[in-house]
Chain A
Amino acid sequence: TQLLEQSPQFLSIQEGENLTVYCNSSSVFSSLQWYRQEPGEGPVLLVTVVTGGEVKKLKRLTFQFGDARKDSSLHITAAQPGDTGLYLCAGYNAGNMLTFGGGTRLMVKP
């Protein structure tokens, strides 16, 4: 099993602050996905990154895949209460299943 470690596990911030969530592994992944999960719902895909060093932006969210394809980060600018949720990273390698990290639970207070 290829482990993915997310940090921090919990994050509570005020509206308007910036934050970064990290997803690290000792293994190389072909691609890495970020999902967001709200209470009572299943995870929903936010983005897939495939190339080492790739940066993708989704409004106020910026996703980066490490050069060596072992790590990724999610940066949120000017967080809003609607960003509250559980953020999960998941790595994929050919021949293996999608491996999920433990998640980062974000709370943005108004």
Chain B
Amino acid sequence: EAQVTQNPRYLITVTGKKLTVTCSQNMNHEYMSWYRQDPGLGLRQIYYSMNVEVTDKGDVPEGYKVSRKEKRNFPLILESPSPNQTSLYFCASSYRQPGFMNTEAFFGQGTRLTVV
């Protein structure tokens, strides 16, 4: 089954404790991205990757890091989480940049992160 898998689904952590949210896709997609979703703000892109070893900042990259060492995986790293990073996070993948030539973005089920 074609899917984007995020782990963990729920995470409560303390300020400053490094954490990683994993994302894996089995569709051989080149484009992957991370979004955060906050009430009333929709989805805001954190980072995206056009291909292996190619990553770039989205709208809200501060406090986050990513890596793309393999095509299928795109982990999101919070080196020193702060309470303002409490949010619902989504990983997405697509054949190419979503929206271009009717390209659909496929989303994971989300990771609800709480930083206390």
Within the complex, which residue of A31, A42, A44 is in contact with B102, where a contact is CB–CB below 8 Å?
A31
B35 contacts across to A, CB distance below 8 A = 100
Chain A residues in 8 Å Cβ range of B106: 42
Q: Number of residues in B with C-beta < 8 Å to the partner?
A: 26
Interchain CB contact under 8 A, B59 and A101: no
Q: Complex Cα distance A50/B42, Å?
A: 21
Pair B108/A88 contact, Cβ less than 8 Å: no
**Is A43 in the interface zone, CB < 8 Å from B?**
yes
Contact A98 B109 (CB under 8 A): no
- Give which listed residue, B59, B97, B100, B107, contacts A1 with CB less than 8 A: B59
Q: Which residue of A lies closest to B33 (CB)?
A: A97
With contacts A50-B102, A91-B99 known, is A102 near B41, CB below 8 A? Answer: yes
Q: Does B105 contact A (CB under 8 A)?
A: yes
Asked if B62 lies at the interface with its beta carbon under 8 angstroms from chain A, I say no
Interface residues in A19-53 by Cβ distance below 8 A to B read 30-33, 40-45, 48, 50
Question: Which residue among A30, A43, A48, A91 has the maximum number of chain B CB atoms within 10 Å of its CB?
Answer: A43
The secondary-structure label for the interface of chain A is: loop
Q: When chains A and B are docked, how far (Å) is the Cα of A41 from the Cα of B108?
A: 7
For residue A1, which residue of chain B has the nearest CB? Answer: B59
Residue B110, interface by CB 8 Å = yes
Q: CB of A79 within 8 A of chain B? A: no
A41 and B59 within 8 A (CB): no
Residue of A nearest to B112 (CB): A40
When the two chains form their complex, are residues A44 and B107 in contact, meaning their CB atoms are under 8 A apart?
yes
Report which of A40, A88, A92, A97 forms a contact with B42, defined as CB distance below 8 A: A88
Chain A contacts of B102 at CB under 8 A?
31, 48, 50
List 8 tightest A-B contacts by C-beta distance, closest first.
A92-B99, A42-B107, A100-B42, A100-B43, A45-B104, A102-B42, A48-B102, A98-B99
